[in-house]
Chain A
């Protein structure tokens, strides 16, 4: 049961970890300092959440491990984030679209997770949802600006929506750990708000004068630890210090 809870925690926290890492790559390179600050802020929030989750997972574990062991010392196949969040920062259109598609999900997830029978998980969700409701507003506002901005911005962000759309379905797939956590009342059944998610997303895309993709082919694998080719490079960066200097305190 404890092992399952740990696995369930990773399923949530790895998304924040990997998305936080992607956003951190952008610090100092944004389209304007104001946007830079906002993106960095989201990254900070996500890493803050990751720390709460991983500290809890480390405490649950029988092994003598820390939040950093969980964050930095797994193999690629052991990370269970969805493919969406590891997609690269191709341009600001992709950055915002990735954020938007994730935030809409993240908000619904945390809303439900606040009712978890696990007090720690409920508390983390309660704290995080305040941050995520800000992320959600930020990314939706930018979808509208880019979609309903110039012709160029509309085309660019539409391209990002089309390219990233295929990664959305994975958000709603249940792993074994999910199923068990749901049965125990700890976990959230994300399939219950799948319809709501796509309705919310479609409403914002329409307001942004963007087309809702109709394609029905979806990618999956992240939740089972089978990632896109981008993931290895992301981890090579993220794990660099821990791998180069094993066992040291920083």
Chain B
């Protein structure tokens, strides 16, 4: 292709996005667009799959049958989200095997929030309320993102995430109406999950590298700081209803901005976890690798059986 032709294609592509039309897998797209989408979408898929682990940690100990069923269903939803997102990523010409390999080798990232441990039952409430809550704020704009398969996957995912968020909040509500021990458990969970949840929106805008490009491609509609503020403003009143206090002494309503001011995030901790040194990075990755490696003989068997079956069918037909 000549340079002029490429320029032409790029123009058509940019106009399409500007008109809010979807880019589909068979459409021409700049290589950078493809790579950025593979990176972001697979990272999102990995987050769903790794995200099953901290909550899965409480399935066997859930305190009632009703809670156990709800938690099983939730963790199962996350596996489903992982699958839609992997499938959507595969449309960009990368194989599932490659994506898993990138996760298992540590080359691909996943959301850092899942590198924190779930140490009490209240953590299951806090994760639903705060982590799914933050995920929704990050992801609702993606329902209108430019890449068709991603946008469509996000519509399904967001519906379920908001259900998870309500379910998590309801766990917190039950605890907050419970005994002293239960209230303390809820407060302790909020104390531990609040700051990591704020970190889910990424570095501050002045430190964020991808924002401009992502805005153009509608991978982002608001900046990290705007989304973080939206989360805080939405969540503080919810904490008040629970009678829990946000662990931030600098948090206060700013009448002028009609928003909450809040304290400094510990960015050293943020970078430590991102770079692989959070409390559970090693365990989470190792667990995924183990599941994959221990399952190799099962996947091989399924493949071998399918091949034998196909052969049997051909023989029959002949």
Pick out which of these stretches binds chain A: B133-141, B145-153, B208-216, B298-306: B298-306
- Roughly how many angstroms separate A218 CA and B294 CA in the complex, as a whole number? 30
Residues A250 and B181 in contact, CB atoms below 8 Å apart: no
Does B285 sit within 8 A of A, measured CB to CB?
no
A25-B60, A237-B61 known; A146+B298 contact, CB < 8 A? yes
Does A242 sit within 8 A of B, measured CB to CB?
yes
Which residues of chain B come closer than 8 Å to A37, judged between CB atoms?
Answer: 76, 79-80, 83
- Roughly how many angstroms separate A152 CA and B72 CA in the complex, as a whole number? 31
Interface residues on B, range: 35 or more
Does B287 sit within 8 A of A, measured CB to CB?
yes
- Roughly how many angstroms separate A92 CA and B79 CA in the complex, as a whole number? 18
Least CB distance, B309 to chain A, in whole angstroms: 9
Residues B82 and A33 in contact, CB atoms below 8 Å apart: yes
Residues B76 and A27 in contact, CB atoms below 8 Å apart: yes
Contact residues, A1-44 vs B (CB, 8 A): 21, 24-25, 27-37, 40-41, 43-44
Residues A30 and B291 in contact, CB atoms below 8 Å apart: yes
Which residues of chain B come closer than 8 Å to A27, judged between CB atoms?
Answer: 52, 56, 59, 72, 75-76
In the complex, the chain B residue whose C-beta lies closest to that of A31 is B295
Which residues of chain B come closer than 8 Å to A71, judged between CB atoms?
Answer: 65
Least CB distance, A27 to chain B, in whole angstroms: 5
Least CB distance, B32 to chain A, in whole angstroms: 29
Does A153 sit within 8 A of B, measured CB to CB?
yes
Least CB distance, B292 to chain A, in whole angstroms: 8
Interface residues on A, range: 35 or more
Least CB distance, A220 to chain B, in whole angstroms: 26
Does A79 sit within 8 A of B, measured CB to CB?
no
Residues A48 and B79 in contact, CB atoms below 8 Å apart: no
- Roughly how many angstroms separate A37 CA and B61 CA in the complex, as a whole number? 19
Residues A47 and B174 in contact, CB atoms below 8 Å apart: no
Does A248 sit within 8 A of B, measured CB to CB?
yes
Report which A residues bind B (CB closer than 8 A).
Answer: 21, 24-25, 27-37, 40-41, 43-44, 47-48, 50-51, 54, 67-68, 71-72, 91-92, 144-146, 148-150, 152-153, 156, 237-238, 240-242, 245, 248-250
Report which B residues bind A (CB closer than 8 A).
Answer: 49, 52-53, 56, 59-69, 72-73, 75-76, 79-80, 82-83, 86, 121, 171, 174-175, 178-179, 181-182, 287, 290-292, 294-305, 308
15 intermolecular pairs with C-beta atoms under 8 Å apart: A28-B75, A32-B298, A37-B83, A40-B76, A43-B72, A47-B69, A72-B64, A92-B295, A149-B300, A150-B297, A153-B301, A241-B121, A245-B182, A248-B178, A249-B174
